[in-house]
Structures are given as C-alpha cells and as structure tokens.
Amino acid sequence: MKLFFAGDIVGEPGRRALRLLLPAMREALRLDVVVANGENSAGGNGITPATAAEIYAAGVDVITTGDHLWDQREVLALLEKEPRFVRPINYPPGTPGRGSTIVQLPGGCLIAVLNVQGRTFMSPMENPFLLAKAEVERLRELTPVILVDMHAEATSEKIALGRMLDGLVSVVVGTHTHVQTADEQVFPGGTAFLTDAGFTGPHESVLGREIEPVLRRFLTGRPERFEVARARVLLQGLLVDIDPATGKALGIRRVSEPLPDGT
C-alpha cells in the first residue's frame, strides 16, 4: 500500500501546490491513500469547510490538524460533520470532533489516522503519550494500518512518541515546525518515522509567512500581521510503502516537490 502524507498546507499557495501536483503524483506513484495536515490552509490560520473541500478535491482522503484548529470559527462544521477530518485527540473530554478516524480504501483495506499534539513549548493539553497508546490499542483491533500525525514543537517529544509506537503503527510523522527534517527511517519494529514532514506552501518566507513583518516583530517586539508569502512553492511530505497485511512499513521517502514557476 502506497501512502503519501503532506506537511502543513499553508494558505492559497499550499492549496494550489496540492491541486496542481497531487493528482499527477497520485497516478504516477499509484498512491492508495493521501493524508494532509490542513491547520494553516485558510490564509495561514486554521481551516474552513471551503479550504477543506479544496484539499479533498485535490485527492486527499483525510485531513489532520493541530494548534491552529480554532483559528476559524467555521471549523466547527468540519468537527461536527466531516468524518474524514481529525483534530488532536488530547483536547479535553467533550471537545467537538474526533481524534482518529478510519477510512476504507477501494480495495477494501482499512486505514486509521490518529492526530496527537505535543505539550513541550505548546499550550497545555492532556498527556499525548497516554492517550495515543490507548487509542492505538483500540484502533489495532480494527486495522494494523495506522498513521499518526504528531503535531509538536520539540523533536524529542516527536521521536519519543514514535519510539513508543514502534511496531504498533505503520507511520509516525511529525508536523507543526514547518521545517522538513532529514531523519526519515523505518524503526526496528516496522514503523516509518520522520520528525517533521515540512510544509506545503511558499518557502521564500519564514515558515510560510512574508519575511519582512516577521523580522520587524523580532526587531521591535510589536505585533505585526503575518501575510502568507508567495514565492518558491513546494509540496513537502513523505511517501511510505506499507504491507497492508501486517501494517509494517517497507520503505519511506521524503518528498519536496517544487511547483513550476508561473503556476
């Protein structure tokens, strides 16, 4: 089974990269399933039903999120009604939406997607390790093919979660820092791991935002509006080859694909 995961989609350029690159990639690589982090898809801040619809239309099966979940109030409709939309599982009990979902692929195979958020240098949340462990145990009763999006700032927290789940899930991929790491590997137990998938959007930027306002903020300490940048748009993420019978990863490859100039 061939899976592609796209790192945080940032604004219109990120959605455009997905729309223009993903369909051909899906066909050329015979992808069976695509998961993407959409937390920055609406102008860099959060996600709406409209931006989610664009992402699904580009060929994404499941959208994950993170700390920007609440930036747009329309997100509530996605949380309440969209089964292919997940938010970090470790929000307090009673939070709308779901932390995991299972989709059935055309061949009949089931894949589970679990979203978790870290706590180091981030807002307080319930313990991601305890909740991920319990949820993975539950999901494994239903399918061995499981992807975990660990949305976190600290590399140690992401690697530790990956190590904890080695052999129990197919993929653990980090998101949130928007900087793609070069440590892709299959752990001894058969879990594919990458500390951060990077982001899908304009890379002539500071993490997807125009450079100048970010610099001014650092220089003056005053608030600034951070517009989404425009140039050097990349589709970033990772490809994983999975044995659908066991859920073990057979191979992993990082992706950083440029959108041709003028598109």
- In the complex, the residues that contact Fe ion under the rule CB under 5 A are 8, 39-40, 66-67, 176
Alpha-carbon gap, residue 128 to 144, rounded angstroms? 20
Of residues 176 and 203, the one with the C-beta less far from Fe ion: 176
E-assigned strand segments in the chain: 2-6, 33-37, 62-64, 100-104, 110-117, 146-151, 171-175, 185-186, 192-194, 201-202, 233-242, 249-258
Of residues 8 and 61, the one with the C-beta less far from Fe ion: 8
Of residues 15 and 26, the one with the C-beta less far from Fe ion: 15
User: C-beta of 14: minimal distance to Fe ion in Å?
Assistant: 10
Query: How far lies 15's CA from each of 51, 54, 75, 113, 217, in Å?
Result: 8, 7, 17, 21, 27
Residue of 68, 151, 176, 203 marked active site: 68
User: C-beta of 251: minimal distance to Fe ion in Å?
Assistant: 26
Query: Is residue 68 flagged as an active site residue?
Result: yes
Phi, psi of 138 (to 5 degrees): -65, -45
User: C-beta of 149: minimal distance to Fe ion in Å?
Assistant: 11
Alpha-carbon gap, residue 64 to 236, rounded angstroms? 15
User: C-beta of 167: minimal distance to Fe ion in Å?
Assistant: 27
Both tokens of residue 90?
């470790």
List the alpha helices (DSSP H) in the chain.
11-28, 49-57, 75-81, 128-140, 155-164, 211-220
Of residues 176 and 209, the one with the C-beta less far from Fe ion: 176
The residues annotated as belonging to the active site are 68
